[in-house]
Structures are given as structure tokens and as C-alpha cells.
Amino acid sequence: MRFRLTKDFEKQVTDYVRAGGFDWVAAEAAGVPWSVYMRWLGRGRRRDARNPYRSFYLSVMQAKAQARLKAEIVCREERPLEWLRYGPGREDNRPGWTSAAKPTSENTLDHALVYDLAAIVQDMAEQVPAMQKRIDDFLHAFDPDW
């Protein structure tokens, strides 16, 4: 099944993300499998990416930041002591919360390098039909909706 990246899909996903949903769950709720969503996001992450992928990537990143900011503001308003103890500004490299997330199998695919690698592999595979078929077969075994 072929999926198409549209402005309606972009709006639906970013609305879900701003409301607090995980981006890949939002994509599936909007009718696109996570594997297709990840490929689109990977294509858009590159600075030289073309639209609609680049604008989609930037919209999703903005929606994720807006959701995070909303949660931080709510925490500051409703639990100011926790905000002071754990909130932004307590880390040295990039200000954020003191308890960094530990990598798990659930968030490994969210790593920026995976997006880049997926986009590169997909671009190369489109030029070699046998390679594309092997990738599709592998992904279909992992995710039947692929």
C-alpha cells in the first residue's frame, strides 16, 4: 500500500503531538504506519531535503517542542518545588531536566542518526529494485502494515 504525505496528515499528526501524544503513535492514529512515518521524517531531517518532507520534519519537531514546553509550564505552575528541583537549567551541556532518559528498545528508533540512516538507505534502495524488495520484505516481517 502506498501512502502520501499531505498537509492534512501533517496537521493531524502535529495536533496530536501538541496534545501530548508520541509522534509515531500520532502517525499511526492518523493512518500511516510508523515505518513509513520514520522514512518521511528521516528524509526531512536533512538540511537539503525537499518539501514536503523538510516542512513536515520541521513541523513535527516544533510540535514536539511545544508539547514539552506546555508540560514544563504546567509542572512549574502545579508543582513548583519539583520544577525547581528537577527542572530546566540543572544540566551542564543542554539545559533540561536532571533525570536523563535511559536508552531503551522503545526509544532507540527516535535517535536522529537512525532517521538519517533510514533516509540514505531508502534513497539508495529506490535505485536498486532487488535491494528495495529485500528491505520491504524485512520490514514487512517486522511490521505487517509495511
Asked whether residue 57 is assigned to any structural domain, the reply reads yes
Asked whether residue 47 is assigned to any structural domain, the reply reads yes
Burial class (CB in 10 A: 0-12, 13-18, 19+), 83: middle
Asked whether residue 43 is assigned to any structural domain, the reply reads yes
- Per-residue pLDDT of 72-121, as tens digits, reads 899 999 998 888 888 776 655 656 666 555 655 555 555 666 666 776 77
CB contact at 8 A, 57 and 68: no
Q: Which of 1-15, 37-51, 92-106, 119-133 holds the top average pLDDT?
A: 1-15
Task: Give the pLDDT confidence score for residue 52 in this predicted structure.
Answer: 95
Asked whether residue 129 is assigned to any structural domain, the reply reads yes
pTM: 0.65
Asked whether residue 14 is assigned to any structural domain, the reply reads yes
Asked whether residue 2 is assigned to any structural domain, the reply reads no
Asked whether residue 101 is assigned to any structural domain, the reply reads no
Instruction: Give the domain range for residue 79.
Output: 7-91+111-142
Residue 127 has pLDDT above 90, yes or no: no
Asked whether residue 82 is assigned to any structural domain, the reply reads yes
The number of distinct structural domains making up the chain is 1
Amino acid at 126: E
CA distance 114 to 124: 15
